[in-house]
Amino acid sequence: MRQLQQLAGFLRRRRGSVSVEFALVSVFFLGPLFGGGADFVVIMAAQAQLRTAVQALDYFAWTNPGEANNLKDAKLIIGLINQHSDYQITLPATLSAGGANGALSFSCFTPPATANTTPTSPSPATCPSTQTQLTLVTYQVTTNVFLPAPLPGIFPSQLSVTSTVQIR
């Protein structure tokens, strides 16, 4: 009975309420906010590196269109980047959307192309003589990031960037 009275007295008292409120706000609001901010920065830096890496692959494909679908050659570019990068970037064998990484795709369109041109996607060398064939290559690079405050289901620990560029 006395313990209940003490508890009731404790609950009625208002001294130190600011400190209690501040502690609650810190734990449930400021803490996760700063943790999320730190995760955001790590992910942003990793995404910047991934975008730069996939852009390097795009330039390689433009410069060596005959080797664009040779993943062993593309790995040279990624290997050179990994020698100096904080993130270990990998070229998965298959794209997350399906298909091989570095695979070529083809499209036909009737020139001149406009913003409303919708290319068809045939196999190579089947475009009619009145149409022009596009050759495109798709690359995907991935990396794993260590998040300082991992929030399950919100921030992924594996990031990937995909690009498709025309090489011919």
- Report the chain's C-alpha Rg in angstroms: 27
Whose tokens are 């001149």? That residue is 112
Residue selected from 24, 48, 113, 151 as contacting another protein according to rule CB under 8 A: 48
Q: Does 20 bind another protein (CB under 8 A)?
A: no
Contact 149, 39 (CB under 8 A): yes
The 3-state DSSP class for residue 131 equals coil
Q: Which is nearer to another protein, 39 or 119 (CB)?
A: 39
Q: Write the binding mask 64 to 83 for another protein: x where contact by CB under 8 A, - elsewhere.
A: x--x--x-xx-xxx--xx-x
Q: Tell me whether residue 35 is exposed, middle or buried, using C-beta atoms within 10 angstroms of its C-beta: 0 to 12, 13 to 18, 19 or more.
A: middle
Which of 65, 85, 162, 165: binder of another protein (CB under 8 A)? 85
- 151 belongs to the binding site for another protein (CB under 8 A): no
Q: Does 157 bind another protein (CB under 8 A)?
A: no
User: Minimum CB separation from another protein for residue 110, in Å?
Assistant: 30
101 binds another protein (CB under 8 A): no
Rounded CA gap, 86 and 89, in Å?
A: 9
For 2, the 3-state DSSP assignment is: helix
154 in contact with another protein (CB under 8 A): no
Q: At what angle do helices 31-63 and 71-84 cross, to 10 degrees?
A: 130
Binding test (CB under 8 A) with another protein, winner from 41, 100, 113, 151: 41
Q: What angle do CA 129, 130, 135 make, to 5 degrees?
A: 75
Question: Which residues of this protein are in contact with another protein, per CB under 8 A?
Answer: 18-19, 22, 26, 30, 33-34, 37, 40-41, 44-45, 48-49, 51-53, 55-56, 59-60, 63-64, 67, 70, 72-73, 75-77, 80-81, 83-86
